[in-house]
Structure 1
Amino acid sequence: MSDDELLAAAARGDGDAFAAFYRRHAALVLGYLRRRVAEPETAFDLAAETFAAALLSAGRYEANGPAVAWLLGIAQNKLLESLRRGRVEAAARRKLRLEPIVVEDTDLIAVEERAAAGSAQLAALLAELPEEQRRAVLARVVDERDYDEIAAELSCSEQVVRKRVSRGLRALRTRLEERT
C-alpha cells in the first residue's frame, strides 16, 4: 500500500496500516531528529511524539504531496515545540494512552547502525536521481532552505523547484519501496 492509502486506512482505525506506515518511516524520522538533538533519548521521545501526532491527525492528512514530507513537517514542529518549551511535550502520547519509551544502550547502538546503513542507501538512491532533482531535494529537505532561495540559486521559478522536490521524493520513495 502507498503511504496515502496507509494513512487513509489508519484514519479509519486500521492499526495495522499505521504500524506499516510507522515501520516504513521510523528510521527516517529518528535519523532526522537524531541529527538535530544532542541526546539520543530526546530523539526517541520526539519520534514517538511525531508518530503519535501523525496518528491523531491522519484523518486530516491531504495527499497533496509526499506523506513523508508531511511526516517530517510534524517532526520539525515537535522539535521546535520542544526547543521553545525546553522539554519534550508528551500530550499526544498521553492522549493515546501510550507508555513512555525506555531506551536501552543496545537500542541506541541498533539505531546508530541502522541510520548509518540507511544513510548509505539514501546516498546511493540520491545519486540515481537526475541532477536537478537531487540538488532541489538536498537543498529543501536536507538543508531545509526556502523554495524562493533555492529557485534563485537554480535560476528557475519556485514552482519548478517544488515540482523537482516532489518528483525527487516520489522517486526516492518508489525506489525505497522496491528495495524493501
Structure 2
Amino acid sequence: MATTDEQLLRGGPEAFGAFYARHERAVFRFFYRRVLDAETAADLSAECFAAALLGAEGYRGEGGAPPVAWLFGIARNVLRRSAEQRRVESRARARLGMPPLVLEDETLAALDRIHAGQLMEHALSYLPPDQAEAVRARIVDEREYDDIARELRTSEAVVRKRVSRGLGALRRRVEDRA
C-alpha cells in the first residue's frame, strides 16, 4: 500500500483520495486564515485539490521539494488567481466535471467552530501552563470557578487570578499585533 505523499500522488485517483485526506485540514486552514470565511476557504480548497489531481502525474519533486510543498504552491497560485479575478477560480473543477461546492449551514458552522478552536489553542500556547489551563476551563469550557478550583486543588481566588492574568496577557498580545 502507498504510504508516502509521493506514492499517493503517483498512485492514481484512489490513492489521491488518501493524499487529500492527509492534507485537507492544513489546506483549508491555509485558505481560512487568509479569507476568514469558511465557505470561500472550502471553495478554494476544492479548487486547489482539483488542480493538484490534474497535475499529479506531472509532479516531479524538483529540488527535493516534498509533495506537500508542491501542494501549497498550488494553493498560493489558486489564492492569487482568485484574488486577481475577485472570485474563486473554478477552472480545475470544471475540467474534472465537478459540480459547484454547496455547503450546508451546519457544515459551515462546524468549519467555523473547528477554526475557532484551533485559534484558541494557538493563543493559549503563549500562556504559562497554569494560566492556559484556567482560561481553557473557564472561557472555553464555561466551567464555574469553584469547580475548576476543586479540580486543580487550589482556591477559587487563585483560579480567578490565573484567568485574569491569562486574559490580560492575551489581550496585550492582540493589542501589540494590531
Shared topology, TM-score over 0.5?
yes
Contact 1:50 1:75 in 2 (8 A): yes
Contact 2:8 2:16 in 1 (8 A): yes
May I ask how many residue pairs the two structures share in their alignment?
119
Structure 2 equivalent of residue 77 of structure 1: 77
Give the Cα–Cα distance (whole angstroms) in 1 for the partners of residues 106 and 14 of structure 2: 26
Q: Which has the higher contact order (CA 8 A, sep 6+)?
A: 1
* Change in 2 beyond 3 A, CA 1:20/1:107: same
Give the Cα–Cα distance (whole angstroms) in 2 for the partners of residues 80 and 88 of structure 1: 10
| Partner secondary structure for residue 97 of structure 1 | coil
Where do residues 1-180 of structure 1 align in structure 2 (5 Å cutoff)?
1-10=3-12, 15-63=13-61, 64-115=64-115, 120=121
Stretches of structure 1 lacking an aligned partner (at least 5 in a row): 125-180
**Any idea what the Cα deviations from partners look like across 1:66-87, whole Å, max 9, x if unmatched?**
2111111111110000111111
TM-score by length of 1: 0.60
Give the Cα–Cα distance (whole angstroms) in 2 for the partners of residues 17 and 116 of structure 1: 31
Structure 2 equivalent of residue 146 of structure 1: none
- Percent identity, aligned pairs only? 45
**Any idea what the Cα deviations from partners look like across 1:41-84, whole Å, max 9, x if unmatched?**
11111101000000000011123222111111111110000111
Stretches of structure 2 lacking an aligned partner (at least 5 in a row): 126-178
What is the CA distance between 1:115 and its match in structure 2?
3.9
TM-score by length of 2: 0.61
Q: Which has the larger radius of gyration?
A: 2
* Change in 2 beyond 3 A, CA 1:116/1:67: farther
Contact 2:47 2:90 in 1 (8 A): yes
* Change in 2 beyond 3 A, CA 1:106/1:68: same
